[in-house]
Structure 1
Amino acid sequence: MSTLRKISVSFALLIFTCHIATSQQQAQKPTIKILSFNIYHGENTHGDGNIASIAALIKNLQPDFVGLQEVDLKTERSNFTDFSNLLAARTNMSSLFGKAIDFNKGAYGLALLSKHRLKKTIQHRLPNKRYRESRILIAVNSLIDQHEIQVINTHLDHAKSDKLRLVQSQFINKLFCNDSLPKILIGDLNAVPNSEPIQQLKNNWKLTDTQCSPTATYPSNAPNIKIDYIMVYPPNKWKIISSTVINTGEISDHLAYFVTLQLL
C-alpha cells in the first residue's frame, strides 16, 4: 500500500473513531426527571390524608428527584408520621428532610427524595424578617452516570409583598450561581412569573416551562397563577425535554409540576 493511501485510510479511521466517541459521549448524557409538589402538610383539600395518593403519583412518574414543600415530621396533626421517610419507603427512594420550624409537637419544612445516592447535603436559612415564618432551602449533590449535579428545594415567603421574596431570591443567586456545577432549583416560590423575585432568579437560572405562557399551578381547584417552579443553572448546560403541570385534582391545594431534562 502506498504511503499516501495509508495516510488516507488512517485519516478515515480517525474520523470514524472520533465520530463514534462523540456519539457515545452524547448518548451518555443523562436524562433527569424532576417533580415539584407542595403537599399541603399531608392533607388533601378536604382535610383527609393524601400520602397514599402522593406515593402513587411518584411511583407512576418515576422521577429522579422530588422536591416537596409543606412537609410535616411527626406532628400531632399528622398522627406523628414521618412523611419524608414514609414516602421514600413507598417509592424506593432516599430522603432528606429539612426543618423550617418546630410545629405541633414535631417539625415542619421541606423534603427531597432521590433515586440516586446522596453525595452531599446542605441546609441554609433564608433571609427573614421579624415575626415572619422561618424559611429554608435544602440541597443535595448526586452523581448521575458519573456527572455531578446539585438539586435544591425551597419555599419562599408567602406575604403579599414581594420585598422579602426578592431578598431571598438574591440570596439563592449569591449562594449557588458562582461556579459551573449544574444545578436544579425546585420550589414553591410564592411569586408569579413576571414578579421581581422571579426576574431576579432569571438573571442566572433558566425557567423550564415549554409553553409560551407558563401553566398555572395554584389553587388546585381552579388554577389561575403559577407559583411552583423548576429552574436550571447554568442555562447552557441543560436541555428541556418536556414540562407538564399535572392535574392532581384535590390531592393538595397545589398542582404538581413535572419536568424532564437532559444534561448537556
Structure 2
Amino acid sequence: MKSYLKFSGTFCLLCIYGLLATAGPGKPAKRLKVMTYNIHHGNPPAKAGVIDLQAIADVIKSQSPDLVALQELDVLTQRGGQVDQVKKLAELTGMYSFFSKGIDFEGGEYGVAILSRFKINRTERFLLPSQEGVKAEQRSLAIVNVTLPNGKSMDFACTHLDLKNEHRMLQVTEINKILGERKTEVILAGDLNLTSDTPAMGILETRFSRSCTENCAPTIPEVNPTKEIDFILLKKGSSMKVSDHQVLQNIIASDHLPVVATYILP
C-alpha cells in the first residue's frame, strides 16, 4: 500500500509539473514565418537562359516558412520550357499553392503566386488599376485565406506593383480598399517596386506596418544590393508582433534577395 501511495503521489506531481510546463508563463509562443521572394522566373542572373527551380525551392526550404509570396513566375511559357513553375515549386517544397496571372506571355501566363504550409481555405484574385493613357503591364493581387495555429483566420496577400509611380499610387490605394477593412488578420507581401520613403508607401502605411522600419537591409540586386523594394507588411490593429526580420544574404538564385519575417501569434 505504501509503495502504491508513493507511486500515486509521484505520478500526480509529474502530472502537475507537466501541466505547468505546457500551460504556464514559460510556454513557447506560437510563431508565423513569412517570406517574400521575386524569383526572376527561376533564372539566376549569372546564368543566361538557365531555369533553376530547384535552387529557388532550396532557398525556400532552408527557412521552413509558413507562407511565401512569390513574384515573376512563368506558367507554361516558352521561356520557362512549358513548365508550370507554381505547381513545380509546390511539389519541390511540399506546400499548397495559388497562382494569380498578370499577363499572357509566350504561350502561357506570367504573374505572382503564394505557397502555404497551411491548407488554403479560400483564394481571391484582383486586377490592380493603372493610369489611363499611360502604358502599363497588368498587375494583380493574390489572396489566400488560411487558419493559423492559434485558430485565427488570416488573409495572406501577394503582389508585384508597377515600375511607374502613377500606376503604383492607384494600386496601393486599391490594395488598401480591398484589404484595409477586413476583420481577419492580414499580411501583405511582395515586390512593391518602391522604397520606404515614397508617397505610395506612405499610403500603404495608413493601413499596414512594415516588418522592418529602421536600418533595413536592401533587397536588390542580388550582388552588392543597394535598394529595399521587397516588403512584408502587417495590417494595423493586429495583436501579432514582429519578432524577427531578415534579408537573406549571398543568395544568387534570382536578381532579388529573399525577405523573411517572423511574427509572434497571440
Bin the TM-score by the shorter chain: 0.7 to 0.9
- Cα distance, 1:26 vs structure 2: 9.7
Counterpart of 1:249? 251
TM-score, reference length from structure 2: 0.85
- Cα distance, 1:222 vs structure 2: 2.1
- Cα distance, 1:28 vs structure 2: 8.6
Deviations 1:4-42 (A, max 9, x none): xxxxxxxxxxxxxxxx8xx66995963111110000011
Counterpart CA distance in 1 for 2:261 and 2:55 is 19
Counterpart of 2:184? 181
SS at match of 1:172: helix
* Residue of structure 1 aligned with 2:162, choices 157, 161, 166: 157
Unaligned regions of 5+ residues in structure 1, if any?
1-19
Counterpart CA distance in 2 for 1:149 and 1:239 is 14
2:141 is equivalent to residue 137 of structure 1: yes
- Cα distance, 1:59 vs structure 2: 1.4
Counterpart residue type for residue 39 of structure 1: I
Deviations 1:99-137 (A, max 9, x none): 110000100001100000111100000011353100001
SS at match of 2:79: helix
Counterpart CA distance in 2 for 1:209 and 1:168 is 22
Maintained 8 Å contact 1:248/1:256: no
CA pair 24-225 structure 1, distance change in 2 beyond 3 A: same
Worse overlay, 172-181 or 113-122: 172-181
Q: What RMSD, in angstroms, separates the aligned Cα atoms of the two structures? A: 1.8
Counterpart CA distance in 2 for 1:126 and 1:216 is 26
Deviations 1:171-192 (A, max 9, x none): 1111111133111101100000
Counterpart of 2:8? none
1:95-106 equivalences under 5 Å are 95-106=97-108
Counterpart residue type for residue 166 of structure 2: K
The list of structure 1 runs, each at least 4 consecutive aligned residues, that deviate by more than 6 angstroms after superposition, is none
Counterpart of 1:7? none
- Cα distance, 1:250 vs structure 2: 2.1
* Residue of structure 1 aligned with 2:74, choices 72, 75, 87: 72
TM-score, reference length from structure 1: 0.86
Identical pairs, percent: 31
2:266 is equivalent to residue 258 of structure 1: no
Unaligned regions of 5+ residues in structure 2, if any?
1-19
Q: How many residues get paired? A: 240
- Cα distance, 1:252 vs structure 2: 0.7
- Cα distance, 1:235 vs structure 2: 4.2
Counterpart residue type for residue 153 of structure 1: C
